[in-house]
Amino acid sequence: MKRKRRHLSAEFKARVALEALKGIRTIIEIARENEVAPSQVGAWKKELESRIDEIFEGKSEVARELARKEAREVKLERKVGQLVIEKEFLEPKRSAVGSRNSNPILAAKKSANSWGSTSAKSHD
């Protein structure tokens, strides 16, 4: 029979990870007591170790990062607007060119190929 998956709270994970980080008891003992896999306790401990400095970074660093992301977002929105305007400007011109010549690039290639093939035959 399948065991129903448990959803553990962030508070529970933090408590278990902190206990493992202290090193008073082994990871296996902590896992047994809290009914989780030892590998999971180890993963939570590693995550806590790698992210513990975020607590002391301060709000100014977070604010600076947010400001950088917002500035990038504004720049990208401006670029999207510019591209939309260019597309709208060029679309009628593309239609006009398309009505005169179905595909100007293919037509140019065809005329170049026909010119090249006649000159090649004349040299034989």
Gap between the Cα atoms of 73 and 52, Å rounded: 29
Query: Which amino acid does the sequence have at 50?
Result: S
pLDDT, tens digit only, all 124 positions of the chain:
677 778 899 999 999 999 999 999 999 999 999 999 999 999 999 999 998 887 777 777 778 889 999 999 999 999 999 999 999 999 888 877 766 655 666 666 666 665 555 544 545 4
Tokens 């590693």 locate to: 46
pTM: 0.46
Residues 40 and 72 in one domain: no
Q: Give me the percent of the chain exceeding a pLDDT of 70.
A: 77
Residues 71 and 94 in one domain: yes
Taking alpha carbons only, the member of 9, 14, 12, 11 closest to residue 51 is: 14
Q: Give the number of domains in the chain.
A: 2
Taking alpha carbons only, the member of 4, 43, 2 closest to residue 20 is: 43
The parent domain of residue 13 ranges over 8-56
Gap between the Cα atoms of 34 and 26, Å rounded: 13
Residues 34 and 64 in one domain: no
Are the CB atoms for 36 and 64 separated by under 8 Å?
no
Quick one: DSSP state of residue 88? Answer: H
